[in-house]
Copies of this chain bind each other. A is one copy, B any other.
Amino acid sequence: MRYLLLVFLLITTQIEAQNNDQKQINEIYNTALTNGSGYAWLNYLSNQIGGRLSGSLQAQKAVDYTKKILDSMGLDRVWLQPVRVPKWVRGTPEFAYIESDPGLTNNVPICALGGSVATPLGGIKAGVVEVQGIEGLKVLGKEKIQGKIVFFNKAMDPTNIDTYMSYSGSVDQRYAGANEAAKYGAVGVIVRSLNLRLDDFPHTGAMSYGDTPMESRIPAAAISTNGAELLSATLKLNPDINFFFRQNCKMLPDVDSYNVIGEIKGSTYPNEILVVGGHLDSWDLGDGSHDDGAGCVQSMEVLRLLKATGYKPKRTIRVVLFMNEENGLRGGTEYAEQASKNNEKHIFALESDAGGFTPRGFSFDCNQANFKQIESWKSLFEPYLVHLFVKGGSGADIGPLKNDNIVLAGLRPDSQRYFDHHHSANDTFAHVNKRELELGAASMASLVYLFDQYGIK
């Protein structure tokens, strides 16, 4: 009899807990959708500050602005964490054309890849060879590449439903293409933009020369997908055309910058830390609304929503706006180093860095016991059409926190439109929908709430 009573109590307690969770989560969503702050913050970041490349004046303004907002939120502690960051500058607008016959030219939209060296002052004009990804270099060999501009034209695979898989499948030509092509004697590289649609926006992004000495580095630029189609078609008609491009970007010495951090102290387990974050820096061509202004304001909104719904966290919940994700990951690296140095115990970290679109779910980098616990929460998210709970990557900035005793997670918004905007002048505030942004923030806050309630296994 006493045993039965115990079982009964246990079951009713579980049901009550589930009901309380559903109630709290419902309040989070309602508050986000009726009284959200993230969209207004993003408007400021995007339209009053704009693109926030590491080391730029705008990046510093974004640090100041977000710190000011966090200061106003009644958190227990807000601070700046110093980070040295690289400073690459684009210089004057790039210029390029296809010369199909001497004197007969078609201008095409290009942009320097982040980290690239400049062309000579007067630009480069040379013949072009087209390859499909880095593997294509070997096929052609040194003889055909020497003295030429290599045109990497591997398109993103349209058949993946998860567009990040298509990105992963083509990004190596952008990141390492110049360094590899230089080994074959190329004088420059032009890379097809990582964009699933055909349009006129060139998409920048990080590239690296590895240890290649300065004098052996060749300039690299992205060309719009329409430009890539035109260049490829022109080459088919006449393989002997020339391509001209000019850019005067350069790398300056490192400068001081900051991660922006705020926290609510936990009432019961203050030493267990939950992190939610995005990256404050962005590329310079658009205003970085999707990548990753959205993730920053959603992360700030998580703490605001927990407070606005009257929730008192058991554990310490921290928002971290990381600096320099795009071209160095210095912020994420520094944050993890300081956490380790201070013996901080991080049990959960969630990053939003995939655009401010309708949230579909989360991916988790964790052990099986924790994944099982997470799966038991799935039904709580059903009313919000958040259905995807998968194992997989989390976020670049929180990656350095990885160890055996932490759950890392990434928000997974609908990915179909993301690469229309990513790293291009088309990443602007007008393309963020207020409700979609708010639903993402509410989903994140709900997940953080559950980890705060139940900890990790």
Within A408-431, which residues are at the interface with B (CB < 8 Å)? 414, 416-417, 420
Stretch at the interface among A200-208, A268-276, A384-392, A393-401: A384-392
Stretch at the interface among A27-35, A141-149, A226-234, A246-254: A27-35
A159 in the interface (beta carbon within 8 A): yes
CA distance A197 to B43 in the complex (A): 15
CA distance A29 to B196 in the complex (A): 16
| A414 and B414 form a contact (CB under 8 A) | yes
Within A233-268, which residues are at the interface with B (CB < 8 Å)? none
Stretch at the interface among A289-297, A329-337, A432-440: A432-440
| B388 and A416 form a contact (CB under 8 A) | no
| B414 and A433 form a contact (CB under 8 A) | no
CB neighbours (8 Å) of A34 from chain B are 158-159
Set B159, B383, B435: member contacting A30, Cβ < 8 A: B159
| B360 and A385 form a contact (CB under 8 A) | yes
CB neighbours (8 Å) of A282 from chain B are none
A225 in the interface (beta carbon within 8 A): no
CA distance A446 to B370 in the complex (A): 35
CB neighbours (8 Å) of A436 from chain B are 416-417
CB neighbours (8 Å) of A29 from chain B are 159, 161
CA distance A163 to B196 in the complex (A): 28
Set B358, B435, B439: member contacting A196, Cβ < 8 A: B435
Q: Mark interface residues in A90-128 (1 if CB within 8 Å of B CB, else 0).
A: 000000000000000000000000000000000000000
Known: A196-B435, A358-B414. Is A33-B158 also a contact (CB below 8 A)?
yes
Within A353-404, which residues are at the interface with B (CB < 8 Å)? 358, 360, 383-385, 387-388
CA distance A358 to B439 in the complex (A): 16
A384 to chain B, nearest CB (A): 5
Most buried by B among A158, A384, A388: A158
Within A16-75, which residues are at the interface with B (CB < 8 Å)? 29-30, 33-34
CA distance A215 to B188 in the complex (A): 77
CA distance A358 to B416 in the complex (A): 8
CB neighbours (8 Å) of A360 from chain B are 385
A31 to chain B, nearest CB (A): 9
Set B158, B433, B435: member contacting A435, Cβ < 8 A: B158
CA distance A33 to B157 in the complex (A): 9
Known: A159-B30, A159-B33. Is A385-B388 also a contact (CB below 8 A)?
yes
Set B383, B416, B420: member contacting A439, Cβ < 8 A: B416
A278 to chain B, nearest CB (A): 20
CA distance A159 to B26 in the complex (A): 10
The list of the 4 closest CB pairs from A to B, nearest first, reads: A33-B158, A387-B387, A416-B435, A30-B159
Binding site for B on A (CB under 8 A): 29-30, 33-34, 158-159, 161, 163, 196-197, 358, 360, 383-385, 387-388, 414, 416-417, 420, 433-436, 439
Could you write out 24 A-B pairs with CB less than 8 Å apart?
Answer: A29-B161, A33-B158, A34-B158, A34-B159, A161-B383, A161-B385, A163-B435, A196-B435, A197-B433, A197-B434, A197-B435, A358-B414, A358-B416, A360-B385, A385-B388, A387-B387, A387-B388, A414-B414, A416-B433, A416-B435, A416-B436, A417-B433, A417-B435, A417-B436
